[in-house]
Amino acid sequence: MAQPWWQEAVFYQIYPRSFADANGDGVGDLAGIRGRLEYLAWLGVDAVWISPFFPSPMRDFGYDVADYCDVDPVFGTLEDFDALVADAHRLGIRVMIDWVPAHTSSDHPWFLEARASRDNPRRDWYVWRDPAPGGGPPNNWIAAFINGPAWTLDEATGQYWLHSFLPQQPDLNWANPEVVAAMHDVLRFWLDRGVDGFRADVVHNIGKDPVLADAEGPGSRFPHVGMNDRPETHEHLRGIRALLDAYPGERTMVGEVYLLNTRLVGPYCGTPAAPELHMAFNFPPLFEQWASEPWRERIDVTREVFDPIPAWPTWVLGNHDVKRQRTRYGSEARARAAACLLLGLRGTPFLYMGEELGLEDAVVPEDRVVDPGGRDGCRAPIPWTEKAPHGWGAEHWLPFAADAGHRSVAVEREDPGSFLNLYRRLLAARRASTALRSGSFEWLPAPAGVLAWRREADGERRIVVVAFEGNEEPFAGDAFAGYRVSIASDGVGEGEALAARIGADRAFWLEPE
């Protein structure tokens, strides 16, 4: 039986400020994305997720939304968006957009009204509390980015508002049914425009403890959003799923569940009888070091959690919030092997734009730092052409990563051994193989330092071998007999049997001879 599209797809995240700039103002835009859809089709991804492009004061670069149903002029217009979706669909690429349900911008008209007075009809759309008995914030919750209280006092009305992130990102109060209805309307607005689904920003943060009790324990000094795991959220997610399921075409939601514990993440997919998210980002592997045993454990825990539900896992090595994998892992060889790992696992992979070029984080001089969370390095513009300014205007909002010419799309496209062509070959091989897209997963015996597994569907078999540390001991048994290497992370040994000794930081895809 065919799997749902989102289980067989490879997603590609576009951070629109930095992808492609059609109007030359130094900030990427929707027309820029549209102009590069051919590239994405050539690369072989099935769906894009576009980070927020809605009107915003950009204090968190679009994750502070001032109007959910429009396009910020810096990115273009609703017509540009419609044209982008139409072209993407013509090329067979689905389009997911970023829905930011847990907070708005403090510039959103809803918040301006809520703040106007205690008895404003929209007051309760946000979370307000009186000061603690002795004065000060109502509880001990910490906000992300500012490392201080998750509460800011509104002097005029004498109450604090809750913000899990910046003070300019007040948390919405999902306990109020009017908020639920308004945010459902936002989903319908975009579904009616033809989007294939949503990436839901910090969606585990929509349900709140009605008592807003102090955080306790060792994690209590960390941003509270990393601990907010509430039954109310699951109820909301079931409602959202019902809304999506009422549309044709399997509109899909992948939720950011930033709980950093796979066992806590799995339940956000609900159950077959009471489904919630289609997919939930499982971030612990993203933060894992490059080492075989920790990775074996990450894979095992993910299978243990998701298989019995049953739910479909995601695999992510990068996004706009973390250092690029090429930078984290520290070498090109590792980053190439990581691509073979990511695309060889059972579950839906999400690529972050530029990962396919092997881009490193840009080194951003202090006077050009703009992000309150210090994430500028991974958000550097994509270099399209070899010569500076690489397909951008002379002025661009962030500097390029080192080596941008050599890492540009134009240069890498022409080089069969490039990072880009490795990704393209992996994507093509995955698309052509049911075993790789949706087949079973079974560990194969491999010497210490190497992980190996087999994927199988309808009698078709593929093997993935990742040599994190490389092997000293020989391979035992004959699990690899009759297979040859179809893709090697460094291109060495393709068409041959797997070597008996494999050096560190290499990976292979094998198929039957």
C-beta of 60 vs 276, nearer to ligand NOJ: 60
Q: From the CB of 316, what's the least distance to ligand NOJ, in Å?
A: 11
* C-alpha neighbours within 13 Å on the C-beta side of residue 166: 18
**CA-closest candidate to residue 11, choices 353, 255, 244:** 353
Binding-residue pattern over the window 92 to 111 for ligand NOJ, x denoting contact by CB under 6 A: --------x-----------
| Cα gap 159→145, rounded to integer Å | 22
Residues 195-214 that bind ligand NOJ (CB under 6 A): 201-202
Q: Which is nearer to ligand NOJ, 166 or 498 (CB)?
A: 166
For 285, the token pair is 């592997």
HEC secondary structure over 260-325: CCHHHHHHHHECCCCECCCEECCCHHHHCCCCHHHHHHHHHHHHHHHCCCCCCCEEECCCCCCCCH
Report the alpha-carbon distance of residue 128 to residue 433 in Å, rounded.
53
Cβ contact 96:199 at 8 Å:
yes
By rule CB under 6 A, what count of residues binds ligand NOJ? 10
| CB of 58 vs ligand NOJ, minimal distance in Å | 12
* Residue 272 burial (CB count, 10 A): 9
Q: Which is nearer to ligand NOJ, 101 or 267 (CB)?
A: 101
Instruction: State which residue, 17 or 407, has the beta carbon closest to ligand NOJ.
Output: 17
**Four-point Cα dihedral 428, 429, 435, 436, nearest 10:** -80
Of residues 349-408, which lie at the interface with ligand NOJ (CB under 6 A)? 373
CA 86 to chain centre: 23
Beta strands in 124-214 (DSSP E): 128-129, 151-154, 159-162, 197-200
- In the bound complex, what is the minimum distance in angstroms from residue 424's beta carbon to ligand NOJ? 27
Q: How far is the CB of 372 from ligand NOJ (least distance, A)?
A: 8
Residues 6+ apart with CB under 8 A from 92: 41, 46
Pattern 280-319, binding to ligand NOJ, x per CB under 6 A?
Answer: ----------------------------------------
C-beta of 63 vs 350, nearer to ligand NOJ: 63
Q: Is 469 in the site for ligand NOJ (CB under 6 A)?
A: no
Instruction: Give me the least distance between CB of 164 and ligand NOJ, in Å please.
Output: 8
HEC assignment per residue over 183-206: HHHHHHHHHHCCCCEEEECCHHHC
Q: Which is nearer to ligand NOJ, 63 or 68 (CB)?
A: 63
Order of strands, edge to edge, in the sheet holding 159-162? 128-129, 159-162, 151-154
Question: Which CB, 101 or 270, lies closer to ligand NOJ?
Answer: 101
Q: Can you read off the two tokens belonging to residue 194? A: 């033809």
Residue list 238-267, contact with ligand NOJ (CB under 6 A): 256
Nearer residue to ligand NOJ within complex by CB, 88 or 166: 166
Closest separation between CB of residue 448 and ligand NOJ, Å?
Answer: 36
Are the CB atoms for 223 and 144 separated by under 8 Å?
A: yes
Instruction: Count Cα atoms within 13 angstroms, Cβ side, for 378.
Output: 21
- Binding residue (CB under 6 A) for ligand NOJ from 29, 60, 171, 355: 60
Of the candidates 63, 99, 126, 290, which one interacts with ligand NOJ according to CB under 6 A?
A: 63
Give yes or no for residue 165 binding ligand NOJ (CB under 6 A): yes
Q: How far apart are the first and last CA of the chain?
A: 27
Q: Which single residue brings its beta carbon nearest to ligand NOJ? A: 63
Is 321 a binding residue for ligand NOJ by CB under 6 A? The answer is yes
CB of 268 vs ligand NOJ, minimal distance in Å: 15
- Residue number, 105 or 159, with CB nearest to ligand NOJ: 105
Shortest reach from residue 419's CB to ligand NOJ, in Å: 25
Rounded CA separation 274/311 (Å): 12
Distances (CA, A) of 179 to 123, 174, 253, 503: 11, 6, 19, 56
Distance CA 310, CA 289 (A): 28
CB of 320 to ligand NOJ, least distance (A): 6
Residue 159 phi, psi dihedral angles, 5° rounding: -120, 160
Residues noted as catalytic: 201, 256
Residue ranges binding ligand NOJ (CB under 6 A): 60, 63, 100, 165, 201-202, 256, 320-321, 373
